[in-house]
Amino acid sequence: MTLFFYVLRDFIRYVFGTLLLVVFLFLLFDFIHKTTRYIPRYNPETALLVKYYIYLLPSLIIQALPIASLLASVITMVLLSRTNEITAMRAAGMGPLRVGMPIVLGGLALCLVGIFLGEYILPRWSERMHYIQEVQIERGSETQIAEGARWVKDENVLYNFRDYDPITNVMTGVRVIETGDNFRPKKSLEARLATYRPESTDWLLEDVKILYFWPKGTLSYTERKDVMPVSIPVEPVKLKKERRYPNELSSAELVDTIRKGSASGVDILSYRVELHTKLAFHFAPFVVCLIGLRFGYRSERTMETARGVLLAVAIGMSYWFFLNAARALAKRGILPPIPAAWSADFILLAYSVLNIWNLQRKRT
């Protein structure tokens, strides 16, 4: 048990060190990039820049977790090997899996950290970050309408509006079209404006013109009403522009977006890809940390260790290239979302498990 915490302590220490270094480099490169055109153009206050980078931190930490897990596992096993501590553990009858168990559990703990940050912290902080960037720094509008929100489909009913004021919760130029067989119109509502009523969660149409159609789609007769309540399946908060990128949404928000998009006929392929990519990336710290276990029974010679470190880093970096390439192909519809998102994890996991099995077999 003492050896377990000894190895785990080293692993966690190197994880924190790598995280600090990688996040610092991310921040430094982003700041240098912004000093070329962005900062001279908008001339933001220092306090706003500081707040912007603070709210950017969860995104950077999530991206850096797999890198930190990979390098920490490799460095931990390499240093244990160089100081002959691996040899002492081997002499005591400990196998590669037992020696690396602290790293395995440490990788699983990093997965939990990534899930917590990605599902609970990132969605809120990224929303605030984009608000600071687009509204407070770039001085953009706070009342932009979400793309594609002007058309909503609910079973056989189409809803459309021309404009929306999020301050007063009022739509203008509202149309509601109920269709029948062969997508022919059965009834159509045209209203000058519609006001949202939170107490009844519906919309009150004003100056309404109702058109009724025959089964063949020709106009039957019209009717007018001053006011008319209608249950439009649109929440005012959903009409505002979503400033966050799909990968900054929580899994629950992505699932809800996919469900509503499927019901209204909107293309949700990119959201499906991002959902499975997000779930697969949560397990990346565990998958890549297994690469370090291959050093459990390697030679202690410096040249062998150097080769092993370069090989481990090359394998780890190929994970990100493969994941991004598969995600791009999935967004184009060339690959299904699930295999594209999870294939990198399964390939690297299979490689690590096979490697550990070979080491255990050689030991026996």
Which pLDDT belongs to residue 183?
Answer: 79
Residue percentage of the chain with pLDDT more than 70: 87
Average pLDDT over residues 299-306: 52
Does residue 94 or residue 251 have the better pLDDT? 251
Q: Which two tokens stand for residue 166?
A: 């999020």
Interatomic CA distance for residues 284 and 307, integer angstroms: 23
The region of weakest confidence among 3-7, 203-207, 273-277, 354-358 is 354-358
Which pLDDT belongs to residue 303?
Answer: 42
Residue 247 — φ and ψ, nearest 5°? -75, -5
DSSP 145: B
Strands 163-165 and 170-179, sheet pairing: antiparallel
Q: Which two tokens stand for residue 284?
A: 């990346």
Q: Of 289, 277, 266, 259, which is closest to residue 338 (Cα–Cα)?
A: 277
DSSP 84: T
Average pLDDT over residues 314-334: 88
Q: Give me the chain's average pLDDT, please.
A: 85
Burial status of residue 218 (CB atoms within 10 A of its CB: 0-12, 13-18, 19 or more): exposed
pLDDT for residue 291 is more than 70: yes
Which pLDDT belongs to residue 217?
Answer: 80
Residue 93's Cα: distance from chain center in Å? 43
Q: Which two tokens stand for residue 204?
A: 């009150």
pLDDT for residue 336 is more than 50: yes
Interatomic CA distance for residues 237 and 243, integer angstroms: 13
Q: Which two tokens stand for residue 349?
A: 């996991």
Strands 170-179 and 157-160, sheet pairing: antiparallel
Residue ranges of alpha helices (H) inside the chain are 2-36, 38-42, 46-82, 85-91, 96-116, 122-131, 236-239, 251-264, 269-282, 284-289, 302-331, 337-363
DSSP 154: E
